[in-house]
Amino acid sequence: MKRIGIFAKRHNKDAVTLADEVVAWLVDRQIEVFVDEALAKAMPDMHGYPGQAIPPLVDMVVVLGGDGTLLSVARLVGDLRTPILGVNLGSLGFMTEITRPELFPMLEQVLAGNFTVSERMRLLAVIRRKGEEVARYRVLNDVVINKGALARIIDMEAWVDDDYLTTFKADGLIVSTPTGSTGYNLAAGGPIIYPGNHCHVISPICPHTLTNRPIVVSDEATIRIAVKSLEQDVVLTADGQEGMPLECGDVVELRKSNHSTLLIKSPSKDYFQVLRTKLHWGER
């Protein structure tokens, strides 16, 4: 590792302070550091680089913050295989599993080449309107189709490959990767999916038909969701951070992306330990 990118929330004082410490620590070890320009504005005398320009220039990216910050950086990394080291400064953090006390020992291991990565599958979401593609998103967590605040229940016709699944009548629908299964999917009653499993989960949000339950399908399948509600306020969001309004007749096509995201794993804990810690399993 000779070049490392640094991202953090510029309005989080702890993150900015820690970023200063990380930069100084890396420079002392002759590592070239590329700081996101938004973060650099909060750091005295620090030169910044446009966020999208950093991933192609570096061997690794360090993200200081929570899962939301990591998701935004994962979008910048895009189709590159630049590994991401997520440091949890938030309240939960399933993907940013490295704690602050573990950071510098972990960096020592990474610089020595002693680390492993977890390869996380992503979804490609393509939105078609009257047969024409109008948008596409690559997501690490989930795609959510949701009704607006004043909208009624929406109708969404779902297909898996060429097989009709059902027409969901619900407040919305979540299509999640294994990585995103501990997010909105979990809150909506969906299952936790181990990251190594090759599948997606489709979870209705507050379905009108109570027997509509979450269903797990192969990640080799193509999922199509057609919006059937007229004059309804319907919105698609990707990873909770970007999206667009949908119209009646729009089709959302979801399939596994050809590219994955690489997350550097903590050597001191496994996935199940993360679940026990974050979800307080076994506590009374």
Q: Which residues are catalytic?
A: 67
HSE-up of residue 158 (Cα within 13 Å, Cβ side): 26
138, amino acid identity: R
User: Which H/E stretch holds residue 71?
Assistant: helix 67-77
SS3 132: strand
Q: Using CA of residue 269, residue 2, residue 80, residue 244, what is the dihedral sign?
A: positive
Cα of first residue to Cα of last residue in the chain, in angstroms, is: 44
Short-list 156, 213, 148, CA closest to 185? 213
Locate 249 and state its tokens. 């007749």
Cβ–Cβ contacts within 10 Å for residue 222, how many? 15
User: β-strands 215-218, 234-238: how paired?
Assistant: unpaired
- The two tokens of residue 93 are 């953090």
What pairing do the DSSP bridges indicate for beta strands 172-176 and 199-205?
A: antiparallel
* DSSP summary character for residue 54: S
